[in-house]
Amino acid sequence: MARPCTACAHPRIASLNRDLVAGVTNAEVARRYGLKPDAIRRHADNHLDEEQRREITLALRTERAQAVADALNEGDVEIHRSLKRVVTEIDSLLQRAKADGNDPLALMSLREMRNALMDLAKLTGTLQNELTVNVNLNESPQFIVLRQMILRVLDRHPDAKADFLGEMQRLQIGHG
């Protein structure tokens, strides 16, 4: 006769399963829910099937994507600030090129400025309107394109690029 599972009988079984799928150790789960580690191990091995794990994984992923979208929508996004800084830097480059009578550099700066401004406008609009839905940013084609575009502009500005990448890492956004 199989012993009744104390985990399955636990009033917070849903939360317990979530912790297991999220990678919390059996010992820690046992501690959190006041059960024995052996009971947790048996439960994880025998009662938490692949489909349940998949569903929970998906739910965790959706929540994380929403958290990222929320963070991006908060308005004080570092990306935004970095791009603004890029525009400022390009502007000073442009002023210098003009003062030096360096037309090719001035033209190039203008082109970069236009790109950066377009990126900034897109970021402002796109982030607020489109990222409120549940998406995994790492799999969003729009986001990947946007990210590549930003990185291209930032290639000329190592400091801003480092800031940007740091922020992306903080938000746990991968490299697409």
The verdict on 149 binding Zn ion (CB under 5 A) reads no
What is the DSSP code string of 41-53?
HHHHHHTS-HHHH
Name the residue nearer to Zn ion (CB basis): 7 or 120.
Answer: 7
| Shortest Å, Cβ 140 to Zn ion | 37
Q: Does 150 bind Zn ion (CB under 5 A)?
A: no
| Phi, psi for 22 (deg, rounded to 5) | -70, -5
**The only residue of 12, 36, 47, 96 in contact with Zn ion, by rule CB under 5 A:** 47
Q: What are phi and psi of 157, to 5 degrees?
A: -135, 80
- C-alpha to C-alpha distances, 137 to 50, 142, 171, nearest whole angstrom: 25, 9, 11
Q: Give dist(CA 172, CA 165) in Å, integer.
A: 10
When the beta carbons of 7 and 20 are compared against Zn ion, the nearer one is 7
Q: For residue 143, what are the contacts with CB-CB under 8 A and spacing of at least 6?
A: 131, 135, 137, 176
Closest CA to 154 of 94, 84, 105, 69: 84
Binding mask 7-36 for Zn ion (x = CB under 5 A): xx----------------------------
Residue with smaller CB distance to Zn ion, 46 or 88: 46
Task: Return the residue of 35, 43, 72, 83 that touches Zn ion, per CB under 5 A.
Answer: 43
The yes or no reply on residue 44 touching Zn ion (CB under 5 A) is: no
Tell me if 105 contacts Zn ion by CB under 5 A: no
Among the listed ranges 4-12, 63-71, 144-152, 168-176, the one in contact with Zn ion (CB under 5 A) is 4-12
Tell me which residues touch Zn ion (CB under 5 A). Answer: 5, 7-8, 43, 47
